[in-house]
């Protein structure tokens, strides 16, 4: 499969996707988002891949949706394009997505970052939802995921002013996991993605799904969901292998069964 606006590679069991529209700061047009989701789904279905790493370049992870594509489109056209459907597909990827973000992480770029399960940010990252400056609002989860991540007041301030925050502030609010020098961002994220990709695949995917339930479900329902997920993993071959390997003082050989 060849792509125009992303590049795709793999490193050991990590699928690496790089946004590649550098001239306009990786602005997210429809084609780019479609390519991105297509590549993510391919990695999701590939048993040799255990985690997905998503990155941009040093100047920009992504400066938002492509304003050229939105400027003249009517509400009905945008509705007919059904752009939300492709973002919904992205949130159904079952393998963990690790983001490595530098430079501008704005608007749809910030929403894309929030779709990652773990984020390593460069000291240079500038993160925000500036849609209000264009007279609109976020359309791919910005009001919902940002509020869950940083809390109502900080989200309100960012969304209503359009002001960005630094990587350090994003870390203080729990919006990113770690802040590292720009030159270390990709390698740190790759190291982490490789570690996760060596874990038992079923456990990784079930944990990802169960953690996300914590955002949607009341506590007791989440606990019930966790319990059923736990029973499911107890039935796996990898659970036998993991426990046996511990008792035999050797490294487990997980198969994903
Ligand atoms: N779209 C199109 N082009 C963009 C762009 C964008 N979002 N951001 C930057 N560019 C282009 C610039 O126009 C410029 O192009 P040329 O003039 O060279 O042709 C080039 O990238 C370099 O940008 P600048 O010259 O402006 O560079 P600076 O360093 O001076 O400024 C900046 C960088 C990031 C501060 C500035 O470019 C900027 O403010 N960009 C716009 C940021 C923004 O407002 N982002 C939010 C866009 S709205 C939805 C899903 C998602 C969304 C909506 C709906 N559905 C599922 C329906 C999301 C909406 C948004 O993200």
Q: Is 246 a pocket residue for ligand 1 (Cβ < 6 Å)?
A: no
Q: Which of 92, 96, 82, 98 is CA-nearest to residue 139?
A: 82
CATH number for the domain running over 6-197: 3.90.226.10
Q: How many CB atoms lie within 10 A of CB 178?
A: 15
Q: Is 27 a pocket residue for ligand 1 (Cβ < 6 Å)?
A: yes
Among 24, 77, 136, residue to substitute to test ligand 1 (most atoms within 8 Å of Cβ): 24
Segment 61-89, tens digit of pLDDT: 999 999 999 898 898 988 888 888 999 99
Q: Which ligand 1 atom lies nearest to the CA of residue 67?
A: 1
Q: Which ligand 1 atom lies nearest to the CA of residue 78?
A: 57
Distance in Å, CA 196 to ligand 1 centroid:
33
Domain 201-247 in the same topology as domain 6-197: no
Instruction: Report pLDDT for 80.
Output: 86
Q: Which of 149, 77, 154, 155 is CA-nearest to residue 113?
A: 149
Instruction: Report pLDDT for 48.
Output: 96
Distance in Å, CA 203 to ligand 1 centroid:
39
> Class of the 201-247 domain?
mainly alpha
Among 63, 106, 127, 162, residue to substitute to test ligand 1 (most atoms within 8 Å of Cβ): 63
Instruction: Report pLDDT for 83.
Output: 83
Residues with catalytic roles: 65, 108, 111, 131
Domains in the chain: boundaries: 6-197, 201-247
Instruction: Report pLDDT for 108.
Output: 98
In a 3-state reduction of DSSP, which class is residue 125?
coil
Q: Which ligand 1 atom lies nearest to the CA of residue 129?
A: 46
In a 3-state reduction of DSSP, which class is residue 204?
helix
Q: How many CB atoms lie within 10 A of CB 2?
A: 5
* Residuewise pLDDT in 10s, the chain (257 residues): 789 999 999 999 999 999 999 999 999 999 999 999 999 999 999 999 999 999 999 999 999 999 999 898 898 988 888 888 999 999 999 999 999 999 999 999 999 999 999 999 999 999 999 999 999 999 999 999 999 999 999 999 999 999 999 999 999 999 999 999 999 999 999 999 999 999 999 999 999 999 999 999 999 999 999 999 999 999 999 999 999 999 999 999 999 99
Instruction: Report pLDDT for 151.
Output: 97
C-beta separation of 131 from 162 below 8 A: yes
């Amino acid at each position: 499969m060849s792509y125009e606006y992303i590049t795709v590679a793999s490193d050991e069991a990590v699928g690496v996707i790089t946004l590649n529209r550098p001239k306009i700061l990786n602005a997210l047009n429809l084609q780019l988002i479609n390519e991105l989701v297509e590549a993510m789904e391919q990695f999701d279905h590939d048993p040799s891949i255990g985690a997905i790493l998503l990155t941009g370049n040093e100047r920009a992870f992504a400066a938002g949706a492509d304003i050229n594509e939105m400027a003249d489109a009517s509400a009905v056209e945008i509705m007919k394009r059904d752009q939300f459907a492709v973002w919904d597909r992205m949130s159904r990827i079952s393998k963990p997505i690790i983001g490595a973000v530098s430079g501008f992480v704005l608007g749809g770029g910030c929403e894309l970052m929030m779709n990652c399960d773990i984020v390593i940010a460069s000291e240079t990252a500038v993160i925000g939802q500036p849609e209000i400056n264009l007279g609109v609002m976020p359309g791919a989860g910005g009001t919902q995921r940002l509020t869950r991540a940083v809390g109502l007041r900080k989200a309100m301030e960012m969304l209503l002013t359009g002001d960005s925050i630094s990587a350090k502030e994003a870390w203080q609010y729990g919006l990113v996991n770690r802040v590292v020098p720009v030159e270390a961002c990709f390698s740190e994220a790759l190291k982490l993605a490789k570690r996760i990709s060596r874990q038992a695949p079923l456990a990784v995917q079930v944990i990802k799904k169960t953690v996300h339930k914590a955002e949607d479900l009341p506590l007791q329902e989440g606990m019930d969901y966790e319990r059923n997920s736990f029973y499911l993993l107890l039935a796996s071959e990898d659970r036998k292998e993991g426990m046996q390997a511990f008792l035999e003082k050797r490294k487990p050989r997980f198969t994903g069964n």
